[in-house]
Amino acid sequence: MGEISDKVYWVWLSSIPGIGAKRFYYLVKRFGSPKAVWECTTDDILDACRLIGDKVVQNVITHKSAVHLKRAQKIAEDPAIKVITLIDDEYPKLLKTIYDPPPVLYCKGQPLKETPFMVSIVGSRRTSEYGRQMAEKLAYELACAGVTIVSGLARGIDTMAHRGAIRAGGYTIGVLGCGVDVIYPRENKKLFMQMEQYGTLISEYPPGTQPAASNFPARNRIISGLSQAVLVVEAGSTSGALITVDFALEQGRDVYALPGNVTSPYSSGTNQLIKEGARPVTCADDILEDLGITVNKKAKQPSMTSYQLDIFEMEVYNALEDGEKQLEELAAITGFDIGRLNAILTLLEMKGIIKQLPGGKFVRQCMI
């Protein structure tokens, strides 16, 4: 195999099933380095059984083979993937301070950057149109101000946060619960490719690792660990995004939440966070002020036409303030008959102010 770098041993040890960050650091502390773990005897490994468990010990013994080391070397030398270990200068300093930082980060796309201001935007996979719009809008405005947007590339809020950052021409980091060479979810293939071009995909899991439910809670500690603050845009009471909040609080990060409709199950988690002390966010400036960033507001806003609405159009627009509505709901709120309401909705759609969703629902397309 030729000369083997220390980085290969880091990849080898961290790739063993069941190791995880805590067991990795225990073995390195006990033996001195990942290379020393590779070189130790089977009896030495068996002595460690009490603290890392029989199954993991057997995995270590099984993986002490030339085949597994060669695989690790192939990964470490892959030009398409940058491998960063905890002792490398490129390892994010803020992430290094958390309780159990990942020993190895696999990166794809642009070189991983640790910028002065980094904010995580997270939320549920199942979202309302209000949540999706606000996630993109807030990410766009933060990215325009020079803030790096960190999220998990999942469907829903994560997707919109990355899109907003890319649309702003900003830098964004996607933290995966699978290998950086695995596109998940599949419908995000286009976004995945955009992230490679404009941002960075990272994972603590080696290339080829398929998504598993157990990977995502651990992934969330990296999302919060990379950031000074975490913003939860929309989350139900059992959303996995709340796990990220728990990690953020443990790590001493600031937590923000977007207020939502009190009758919407999509916002029950975020509204509860606000009751428990999370700072409510209604615009990007709420976060930018805390970060000490002053922004030229004219430069920050996306370019759009200044819309002039008559009183009837404004009434329908206002009726959509708290999210999507069926035609019958809008008729009940505004008092307009169906024929007149359809005419107003058509005009608003032509102006690009609202759009019709599947199922006959209408929702705001932009803020005016």
Q: Could you give the CA distance from residue 234 to residue 89 in angstroms, rounded to a whole number? A: 35
Residues 6 or more apart whose CB falls under 8 angstroms from that of 275 comprise: none
Residue 78 is predicted with a pLDDT of 96
Q: Which helix (H) or strand (E) holds 160?
A: helix 157-167
Report the pLDDT value the prediction gives residue 234, as an integer from 0 to 100. 94
- Report the relative pairing of strands 148-151 and 172-175 from DSSP bridges: parallel
Contact of 135 with 161, CB cutoff 8 Å: yes
Chunk the chain into consecutive blocks of 10 residues (it has 368) and report each block's average pLDDT, rounded to whole numbers: 87 96 94 95 84 90 95 96 97 96 98 96 91 92 96 95 94 98 94 95 97 94 98 93 96 96 92 96 94 67 56 88 86 90 85 83 79
Helix (H) or strand (E) holding 199: none
From 241, 185, 248, 209, select the one nearest 19 (Cα to Cα).
209
Q: At CA 342, angle to CA 340 and CA 348, rounded to 5?
A: 105
Nearest-angstrom CA–CA distance, 195 and 166 = 8
The whole-number pLDDT of residue 305 equals 46
pLDDT value of position 308:
72
Q: Which of 198, 193, 119, 132 is nearest to 159 (CA)?
A: 132
Rounded CA-CA distance 36/9 in Å is: 9
Tell me, what's the pLDDT at 2? Answer: 65
- In CATH, what class is 118-300? alpha beta
Question: In angstroms, rounded to a whole number, what is the distance separating the alpha carbons of residues 274 and 13?
Answer: 41
| CATH code for the part of the protein at 311-364 | 1.10.10.10
